[in-house]
């Protein structure tokens, strides 16, 4: 796809090798823990689908949907849960799976929310990180790729619900 305004940032083969590398790291730590992987909707759905197919041990998957009362390109800072979990977290090893950590506000909120449910552990796996944008400190235990302050789409990640279907990760250039 070469629609104007989109520039390939991470080609699909590189995304695939990053996912494989993350799966090796996660396998080493969780192969005997029956972890609960929690994907943050909607942006992480492609990533988590690829990731779990590289994990060859017992695990469970759930999803949570968060809203930050924002639209466009910015997190507003006011996060709430709009679609909750079905799973019991008490005593479970929880791994949050996120597409992008930007300001950190979303995952920082989620990790505190999950900790109140008394899991055995909570860690974070993120495909992309924009460290220059951080406003709240966040530990990313399994990190795919750090990127600069560019707005990205593709591989499940949208702009106004578009571009989730693109297999590569693109930068959406200004003016789109
Ligand atoms: P944070 O709370 O860390 O600022 O925001 C994280 C969320 O903002 C991500 O889960 C994602 O939904 C959205 N986000 C941050 N950067 C980008 C980006 O470059 N492109 C898209 N589409 N969403 C982004
Ligand atoms: Mg998101």
Instruction: Looking at the CA of 133, name the nearest ligand.
Output: 1
Residue 71 has pLDDT above 50, yes or no: yes
Percent of the chain with pLDDT over 70: 92
As a whole number, mean pLDDT of residues 5-21 equals 98
| pLDDT score for 70 | 58
CB 10 within 8 A of CB 127: no
pTM summary value = 0.93
Pocket of ligand 1 (CB under 6 A): 43, 75, 98-106, 151-153, 157-159
DSSP 174: T
| pLDDT score for 1 | 47
| pLDDT score for 118 | 97
Residue 84: pLDDT band with limits 50, 70, 90:
confident
| pLDDT score for 170 | 98
Which of 131, 68, 140, 34 lies closest to 97 in space, CA to CA?
Answer: 140
Name the residue of 40, 75, 126 to mutate for ligand 1: max ligand atoms within 8 A of Cβ: 75
Cα separation, 134 vs 126, in Å, equals 14
Of the residues 102, 129, 149, 174, only one is catalytic, namely 102
């Amino acid at each position: 796809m070469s629609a104007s305004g989109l520039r390939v940032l991470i080609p699909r083969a590189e995304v695939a090798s990053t996912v494989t590398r993350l799966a090796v790291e996660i396998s080493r730590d969780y192969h005997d823990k029956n972890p609960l992987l929690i994907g943050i909707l909607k942006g992480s759905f492609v990533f988590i689908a690829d990731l779990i197919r590289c994990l060859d041990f017992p695990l469970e998957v759930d999803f949570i949907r968060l809203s930050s009362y924002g639209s466009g390109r910015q997190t507003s800072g006011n996060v709430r849960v709009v679609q909750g979990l079905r799973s019991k977290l008490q005593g479970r090893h929880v791994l949050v799976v996120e597409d992008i950590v930007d300001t950190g506000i979303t995952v920082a909120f989620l990790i505190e929310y999950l900790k109140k449910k008394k899991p055995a552990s909570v860690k974070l796996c993120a495909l992309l990180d924009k460290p220059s944008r951080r406003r709240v400190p966040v530990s990313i235990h399994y990190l795919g790729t750090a990127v600069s302050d560019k707005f990205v789409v593709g591989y499940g990640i949208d702009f106004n619900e578009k571009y989730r279907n693109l297999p590569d990760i693109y930068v959406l250039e200004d003016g789109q």
